[in-house]
Structure 1
Amino acid sequence: MSATTFSWRLRPAGPEDAERLSLIGAATFLESFADIIGGEAITAHCLKANSAESYRRHLDTGAQAWLAEVEPGGAPIGYALLTQPDLPGARDGDIELKRIYTLSRFHGGGLGAALMQAAVEAALARGAARLILGVYAGNDRALAFYAKQGFTRIGNRQFNVGGQICDDFVLARPLTLSENTI
């Protein structure tokens, strides 16, 4: 079955959705990286970074999130999380797309673009000049998606995933017409 076979909806998520965000966060991270990151490291990372408490903390401190849910039924199939930046190369006026993931069986149906659009609209509403993110350097599918969305590479970072160090690219996308350089 392809993503176009399914109906889905996108909605803002709040602290009351922390468990749903935790579930889809861990599921999509495992699905994306289980063949790259060792079992102990990925398990430790998912238990910490994708805990319900982690999402509650983000949302309680001003982050915004969106849940994608399959219809009918409302099972979570993707999400995005927008936070204050915590990346090398961040500057005043930046906002970070901390996470954006969908289950792979829903790739190709416009869900990723819809999540990105929600994040861009929220970033603009906050007055951000640039949207930044970190992405695993070997994630070719994500890199192609981000390039299509107008992101370019501005730097590198090392990312600790449960004790395993991974190389990431830091990408940026200008949000205002007056922003001529990234």
Structure 2
Amino acid sequence: MLKIYPASSANQDQIQSIAEQTFIETFGPFNSKAHITEYVQQNLNLTKVAEEVADPRTHFFLAIDDGQVVGYLKVNEFGSQTENGLRDSLEIQRIYVLKKYHSKKVGAQLMKLAIQLATQFQVTFIWLGVWEYNERAIQFYEKFGFKRFGQHTFMMGDRPQTDWLMKRPMN
């Protein structure tokens, strides 16, 4: 049975492990091994995860099924978001689930939690960035009422990629 728990510094190893595994599963097939390895080493290492977990405006949640971490959610309040100027909002920076759990509604439960948090924080909208070619994720977000409102460049090694910015109003 799936359970979702708030994560803390005591869970840094679990967060780092699931972050690396899900990132590689999601983007590995579309990028060079060197670029994926570089990204993981720079952005998903234990030191970086510890810094993120220590940020009081960043919140992590682990999805656990039968004792195994199968996915996670990371949301950022204003001041810790990856885009400037999006006041009165909550960012879903990461919502990742192991590939073999994609059909088990883990992502939907994590998304419902993110929306619940946005309601709790009384923000006007919730937003995220998604790779323009991740059609499965885009369709998932659209089912929850997200619509495209912009884009930004995401660097994968020396290769620029476009992320769509999508938001959902909270009223």
**Normalising to structure 2: TM-score of the pair?**
0.92
Please report how far the alpha carbon of residue 146 of structure 1 lies from its aligned counterpart in structure 2 after TM superposition: 0.3
Residues 69-125 of structure 1 show CA distances to partners (whole Å, capped at 9, x for unaligned) of 121xx221100100132226x521012101000011101211111111111222222
The one-letter amino acid of 1:75's match is Q
Matched, 1:57 2:29: no
Tell me which protein shows more helix as a share of its residues.
2
Q: Which residue of 2 aligns with 1:134?
A: 129
Instruction: Write out the 4+ residue segments of structure 1 that deviate beyond 6 Å after TM superposition.
Output: none
Gaps of 5+ in 2: none
Matched, 1:69 2:64: yes
Tell whether the 8 Å contact from 1:131 to 1:172 is kept in structure 2 after alignment: yes
> What is the alpha-carbon distance in structure 1 between the residues aligned to residue 109 and residue 122 of structure 2?
20
Q: Which residue of 2 aligns with 1:110?
A: 105
> What is the alpha-carbon distance in structure 2 between the residues aligned to residue 53 and residue 149 of structure 1?
33
SS in 2 for 1:108: helix
Let me know the Cα RMSD of the aligned residues: 1.4
Gaps of 5+ in 1: 1-6, 178-182
> What is the alpha-carbon distance in structure 1 between the residues aligned to residue 62 and residue 119 of structure 2?
19
Q: Which residue of 1 aligns with 2:74?
A: 81
The one-letter amino acid of 2:17's match is L
The one-letter amino acid of 1:78's match is G
Greater relative contact order (Cα 8 A, min sep 6): structure 1 or 2?
1
The one-letter amino acid of 1:80's match is L
Comparing 116-125 and 151-160, the one that deviates more: 116-125
Please report how far the alpha carbon of residue 162 of structure 1 lies from its aligned counterpart in structure 2 after TM superposition: 3.2
Aligned length: 167
The one-letter amino acid of 1:58's match is E
Matched, 1:97 2:81: no
Which of residues 137, 144, 166 is equivalent to 2:139? Answer: 144
